[in-house]
Structure 1
Amino acid sequence: MTSVSQKIKPVVALEVDNANASKRSWLSRLKLDHFRNYQQADLPIHAGQLVILGDNGAGKTNLLEAVSLLAPGRGMRRAKTEHLAYRASGFETTSGIADDYDADRLDWAVAAALENEDGTLQIGTGVPPSAKQGNRIMRLEGVTVSQADLGSRLAVSWLTPQMDGVFLDSPAARRRFLDRLVIAFDPAHIGRISRYEKALRQRAHLLTEQRGDESWFSALESVLAETAVAVTAARQSLIKALNQEAARGWFGFPGVELLLSGDTENWLSDMPALAVEDQLMLAARTARLNGDLAMPGPHASEFQALHLASQVPANRASTGQQKAMLIAVILAHARLQDRRLGRVPVMLFDDVAAHLDAKRRGALFDAVQSLGGQCWYSGTDDGQFKELLKTAQFVKILPANNAGETPIFEVI
């Protein structure tokens, strides 16, 4: 069982200082069961900002990942559900044989107390022991709900070192980043993306296997066209609003313009949505009859960003500019949620402070403080967070030493 040190700092109230304070949402407790390297864990949360400290491999990122899974999507690592269950690997028993404790178990759970204008809500996600295929579910007040249902109550935004190269990553990775931003405002977007990708795979499979008749393909391509327009319109709407928010820059982070281009985007700028659906169906049918698997749609859209002050595209910017642009987008996205939804997302910054100089780090802390929501930082060096000593809750993770044990939280 996880224990908490008795050396607890005085409780720090969550600071919210604007007109939408009553609509804020934050986590006041996090519980893990059979998740990653935590056999069991229970963390009471007393502050609007948390600093999670520990050595590499102690479980800091696992803790933040657990929070990210409370929001729609696959979390900050996009891990498969079967990879999230607890494993007591890496240890040896007294006999010298590696312990394979609970190796066959696939179930795991993450639960939290969510505080908002309605009071305290119990939320959670995980794979129940009864799940035959390891399917993950979402829970609200003990009732199984959809990801969209939970997403309407809680938004989570994150930044990790692995995201630093998002503007240099594959087009698919950049589109996933954009879609995650859309989902915060439109949780149903995740269902549209899933429906579109499933239909696209079915069409490709039928073409590869040379199966299916005209009516079958027409039905699939009708679904693809309708969903493609909805997905593209949602992306465009978010980008338009986000560009207005991000253009000015904030706390020294640069002004950024997001760019989305493709056939569907061009058609939507020139014709009504129904006409675009017809155009997509015609393009898909023409390509199919010509023996081409490809077709236009949101799966082929190009997403990039522009550094406004220098007019340099992100994929040609310096590493420092790219990082600053990424942070600027994340902060603008949080401000837009505050303005439109009356809430700031729970923000997760995994080992980000270590990769910023002192000036940028201070600017990030000030910006997050100004937002007024809850933020989780992780790192190995408490000296990187000295500006937060008076306002944040500091938690040190002491790693497990033996199989069957779990990391210990020490509130310092």
Structure 2
Amino acid sequence: MPSLSRLELQHFRSYRKASLQVEANRVIFVGANGAGKSNLLEAVELLGSLRSHRTSNDADLIRLGATCGWIHGWIGTDGLEHIGLYLRQRGGRQGWRNQQPLSRQMDLLGSFRCVCFSSLDLALVRGEPVLRRQWLDRVVLQLEPTYGELLSRYNRLLRQRSSLLRRHGEASPRHHLTALLDAYDQQMANLGARLHRRRQRALLRLDPLARSWQKRLSGEQEILSLLYHPGTELPPGLDVDQGNRDLVAWQEALRQQLAHQRQVELRLGTCRIGPQRDEVMLQLDGQ
């Protein structure tokens, strides 16, 4: 996987302009509080994952008084590939690759691998399940950039279906509503099963690594386990690395459960089945 060899910032956080040449495998930033060390690392995180662990508002990323900001990166030891992320004060980003605008910023994903660690990561253990789902999604995005498109499509369907459920409340489903919900259920089952499979596959690959490092750090005294609890009752014994046959079984299971829960969901106005209900469990010595 190519690495970042050069970074340039314009009107990003505290920087009016900055340039960094990465010439070693390990780089340590040293400086006084408020010097901008975290801002440099945040820029790398944003360019590599399109996310910041500190804010979800792009306006916070742009230097005070500026209307826009830039993050430029050069990839590989030769630095021949140039990527960029253009930030606007009023929202809306634009990804660039080799001086050409991209139709989707998500096409930047996979340019180089980026993993962020911070004190805020304690929330993975103590926080709500949504934080662990978001962490796992970021991991899968690094491994499979196409996952971002699947997740975006599923979340859009989820919002539309939830809005439909709330509008109709407890009213008995009429024929056109039943047909519409059937169509939503089929699409959500198709996408949801693919999300389930990718999340579980990533966690199965991470679990032995986490287990090995925890044993090493604890002097062989502790066993860490990462467990995936899907928000859908998936058929047992299916292989996440197999092809379409097992995927179809997962899709059908999700579709049937959505149909079975329909009356309850109409009454509550929310979707109770699917990847948005997933949980990632971190267990130490089985607890």
The TM-score bracket by the shorter chain reads 0.7 to 0.9
Rounded to whole Å, the distance in 1 between the matches of 2:234 and 2:181 is: 25
TM-score calculated relative to the size of structure 1: 0.59
Rounded to whole Å, the distance in 2 between the matches of 1:228 and 1:268 is: 17
What residue is the counterpart of 1:42 in the other structure?
19
Which protein has greater RCO, CA pairs closer than 8 Å, 6+ apart? 1
Rounded to whole Å, the distance in 1 between the matches of 2:180 and 2:59 is: 34
AA in 2 matched with 1:278: R
**Pair 1:46–1:230, CA change in 2 (3 A):** same
Q: Matched residue of 1:249: which SS? A: helix
**Pair 1:80–1:265, CA change in 2 (3 A):** farther
Q: Deviations over 1:354-384 (max 9, x none)?
A: xxxxxxxxxxxxxxxxxxxxxxxxxxxxxxx
Q: CA shift at 1:246, angstroms? A: 3.2
Structure 2 residue 139 is the aligned partner of structure 1 residue 156: no
What residue is the counterpart of 1:261 in the other structure?
229
Q: CA shift at 1:192, angstroms? A: 1.7
**Pair 1:36–1:263, CA change in 2 (3 A):** closer
For residues 169-208 of structure 1, what are the structure 2 equivalents within 5 Å?
A: 169-208=127-166
Larger radius of gyration: 1
Structure 2 residue 39 is the aligned partner of structure 1 residue 75: no
- Aligned identity (percent) is 27
What residue is the counterpart of 2:69 in the other structure?
108
Runs of 5+ unmatched residues, structure 1: 1-23, 88-100, 314-412
Q: CA shift at 1:235, angstroms? A: 0.5
Q: CA shift at 1:277, angstroms? A: 3.5
Decide whether the 8 Å contact of 1:72 with 1:190 is kept in 2: no
Instruction: Find the partner of 2:99 among 142, 154, 171.
Output: 142
Q: CA shift at 1:46, angstroms? A: 2.0
Structure 2 residue 204 is the aligned partner of structure 1 residue 246: no
Q: Matched residue of 1:31: which SS? A: strand
What residue is the counterpart of 2:85 in the other structure?
125
Any runs of at least 4 consecutive aligned residues in structure 1 with deviations exceeding 4 A, and if so which? 268-271, 289-292
Q: Deviations over 1:199-239 (max 9, x none)?
A: 22222222223388333333333222221111110011111
What residue is the counterpart of 1:353 in the other structure?
none
Matched length? 267
Rounded to whole Å, the distance in 1 between the matches of 2:106 and 2:236 is: 26
**Pair 1:124–1:288, CA change in 2 (3 A):** same
TM-score calculated relative to the size of structure 2: 0.82
More helix by share: 2
Rounded to whole Å, the distance in 2 between the matches of 1:109 and 1:182 is: 26
**Pair 1:27–1:55, CA change in 2 (3 A):** same
**Pair 1:34–1:119, CA change in 2 (3 A):** closer
Decide whether the 8 Å contact of 2:234 with 2:250 is kept in 1: no
Q: CA shift at 1:290, angstroms? A: 4.5
AA in 2 matched with 1:264: T
Q: CA shift at 1:150, angstroms? A: 2.4
Q: Matched residue of 1:29: which SS? A: strand
What residue is the counterpart of 1:340 in the other structure?
none
AA in 2 matched with 1:296: I
AA in 2 matched with 1:58: A
